[in-house]
Amino acid sequence: MHLSSNIITKRISNDDITTYVYLPSEICVLHSLTFKLVLPINPDSHRIVIFVQSAGSIHLNGHMIRADKGSAFVLAPGAKAQLEFNDTTNVENAVYLIDFNAYCLGKHHSVPELGPYLPYETKITIIQTSRLIDLLTQYQTFARDNLKNQEIIYFKQQTCLHELLILLIDSIQRSDGDFDNKSAVEQTIGYIDQYYYEDITVEQLYKMSGVGRWQYSSLFQTLTGKKPLDYLMNIRLKRAKELLMETEDTLRQIAHQVGFREESYFARKFRQTIGITPRQYAESMRTIKSPSSAVKNRYERVVTVGYALGDIMSLGIKPIGADINIIGKRVIYRDELKDIEDIGLLGEPGKVRSLNPDIIIYSGFRQEWVEQLSQIAPTILIDRYEPTYSRLLKVADIFDKQEQAQVWIDQHKQKAEDMWTLISANTVGRQTATIFALAEGSLYVMGMKGFGLTIYHPLAYQPSIKVKEMIDIKLPFRGIDIEHISEYMADAHFLLVDEFPRSKQEAARIINSPFWKSLGRGQAYVTEAKWNFDDPMTMDQLLAVLPRILQA
């Protein structure tokens, strides 16, 4: 959107307005700095310094500020500055320098100040990096334009400069406002976590935060992945599950302890959310906590639903039935699934019943079928989002294979440490990473799940800022549009693509996008989505192939 006017105003008092005009002077692009570059002092021009394709630092009058990729600084006329890149070997590094003059209408000389909207020598994190790159590209194009009518070229440059200034101002204002509002909403989330048993309403929460209702709900959902009342319900039911396992309290007592006024409403919401009644849940958990040896020996006809299949197979247990048309087409161990009966999409009760199982291990998400399955055979729920090590130990406990599971865990930790020690000595260090996954044509950002459990390691990559926010709120993944991919900027980017034609088409769009093309060697990797599982067999094989993926 272009400005309808080429002026920006600043109010001086209630009656007087000073109008500024900003006129572009020069644009310069610096590539691959291998040393500190001292910027020549210009006593008349203001200067915008933008780190576009790499991080670095800017040294200003005796102090230094880290410059992240996608950050900008405004320098006053006569300011002394030195620039440098962190990675001096990357030829695609780039810093944009844009000189411009500010004039007050009615004055013949440039002025040495910009007003309160753009602070000098302060890091500005750009909120729309794709828009930033677009404006800089336009600016360069106009600067190289050889049209005869130089007035048109100059007006285009001026319009582009003003849009860039507005982008910087918006970034500052949104950053300040978003931080304050985010902090206020986070405090109400903490309030829910502590006082979930009280009578809490959305109106009470947003008034407590001081944030408008609709903005509050939007920020809350961004931070937690849930609406406020859904989050409250989840906390209450989570605590209820703990009480069902740890105490002999009645359902009425448990309901009141976690914030439900009526036992019937508690039981109904528990069944709708968990998939089985509170009593059934308590019985299932008792089976997990203290199964007798006799019961374990009877588990010869095992049916598994969902993502626990790989855990069971890694313990040497081959189920008689699984939803192999879903899982089996995506995992690396598909050749080992022969002779396992398909139980349909996410475990159809009719097909499961025909197999006459001794036990059903359920780690899917179709909760409405759990109660029907529990009537066929003892059904044990395994949280598919639980980290691999703890999830495997729970599965192993069912089949009396705890020692085997612990041996694998210890060996895998050592193998991962050895691999990353070897790799990180030359290539990784303490860089950040973001993992994208294309599943059936939809794009996701991964948290601490699947591929991320191997990539995010103390000796290897750390999650990028927005991914860490997901991990902090235990969000395993988040669906995004391709247009927002640049918001998850990191030192390295991994794109996992499944075999669906739509996914391959979307992958081609991403790879050919300006953002992906701007990434240099060691910043972009594309591999198969089969590595986005976190069962022991996949994770073991990933350790073997990951060095080749990183060298590609």
**pLDDT confidence of residue 291:** 43
pLDDT of 175 > 70? The answer is no
What is the C-alpha to C-alpha distance for residues 268 and 261, in angstroms, rounded to an integer?
A: 13
Q: Give 406-551's CATH code, choosing from 3.40.50.1980, 3.20.20.140, 3.40.630.30, 3.90.79.10.
A: 3.40.50.1980
Q: Which CATH superfamily is domain 8-173 in?
A: Regulatory protein AraC (2.60.120.280)
Average confidence (pLDDT) over 130-151: 71
Kindly list the strands in the beta sheet with 56-60, ordered across the sheet, starting from the edge strand earlier in the chain. 37-38, 81-85, 56-60, 63-67
**Residue 328: strand pairing partners:** none
What is the C-alpha to C-alpha distance for residues 451 and 471, in angstroms, rounded to an integer?
A: 14
What is the C-alpha to C-alpha distance for residues 201 and 213, in angstroms, rounded to an integer?
A: 12
For residue 461, what is the DSSP state? B
What is the C-alpha to C-alpha distance for residues 534 and 317, in angstroms, rounded to an integer?
A: 18
Q: What is the pLDDT of residues 506-526, one digit of tens each?
A: 999 999 999 999 998 889 999
320 pLDDT tier (thresholds 50, 70, 90)? very high
Of all residues in the chain, the percent with pLDDT exceeding 70 is: 84
The two tokens of residue 191 are 């309030």
pLDDT of 396 > 70? The answer is yes
What are the backbone dihedrals phi and psi of residue 411, each rounded to the nearest 5 degrees, phi first? -65, -40
* Cβ 303 vs Cβ 361: under 8 Å: yes
pLDDT of 220 > 70? The answer is yes
Neighbours of 179 (CB within 10 A): 10
pLDDT of 128 > 80? The answer is no
Which is more confidently placed, 38 or 46?
Answer: 46
Average confidence (pLDDT) over 404-427: 84
Q: How many helices (H) and strands (E) does the chain have?
A: 19, 21
Winning range, highest mean pLDDT, from 50-59, 163-172, 322-331, 488-497: 488-497
Residue type, position 296, single letter:
K
What is the C-alpha to C-alpha distance for residues 12 and 22, in angstroms, rounded to an integer?
A: 18
**Residue 37: strand pairing partners:** 83
**pLDDT confidence of residue 433:** 94
Which is more confidently placed, 170 or 10?
Answer: 170
Average confidence (pLDDT) over 377-393: 86
**pLDDT confidence of residue 552:** 66
24 pLDDT tier (thresholds 50, 70, 90)? confident
Q: What is the pLDDT of residues 264-308, one digit of tens each?
A: 999 888 888 777 788 877 776 665 444 443 334 457 899 998 888
116 pLDDT tier (thresholds 50, 70, 90)? low
177 pLDDT tier (thresholds 50, 70, 90)? low
**Residue 74: strand pairing partners:** 48
Of all residues in the chain, the percent with pLDDT exceeding 90 is: 19
**pLDDT confidence of residue 238:** 85
Q: What is the pLDDT of residues 101-115, one digit of tens each?
A: 888 776 777 777 776
Distances (CA, A) of 426 to 35, 361, 429, 544, 547: 22, 43, 7, 18, 12
Sorted by where each begins, the domain ranges of the chain are 8-173, 276-400, 406-551
Winning range, highest mean pLDDT, from 143-152, 384-393, 459-468: 459-468
76-80, 152-156, 199-203, 326-330: lowest mean pLDDT where?
Answer: 326-330
Mean pLDDT of the chain: 80
Q: Which CATH superfamily is domain 276-400 in?
A: Nitrogenase molybdenum iron protein domain (3.40.50.1980)
Q: What is the pLDDT of residues 332-374, one digit of tens each?
A: 887 788 889 888 877 888 888 899 898 999 887 666 677 788 8
CA gyration radius for the chain? 29
Average confidence (pLDDT) over 214-232: 83
Q: How far apart are the first and last CA of the chain?
A: 40
**pLDDT confidence of residue 454:** 93
What is the C-alpha to C-alpha distance for residues 523 and 331, in angstroms, rounded to an integer?
A: 26
What is the C-alpha to C-alpha distance for residues 107 and 105, in angstroms, rounded to an integer?
A: 5
For residue 484, what is the DSSP state? G
What is the C-alpha to C-alpha distance for residues 450 and 530, in angstroms, rounded to an integer?
A: 10
What is the C-alpha to C-alpha distance for residues 252 and 97, in angstroms, rounded to an integer?
A: 68
Neighbours of 411 (CB within 10 A): 12
Question: Do 406-551 and 276-400 fall under one CATH topology?
Answer: yes
| Cβ neighbours for 101, distance < 8 A, ≥ 6 positions apart | 22, 23, 25, 44, 45, 46, 110
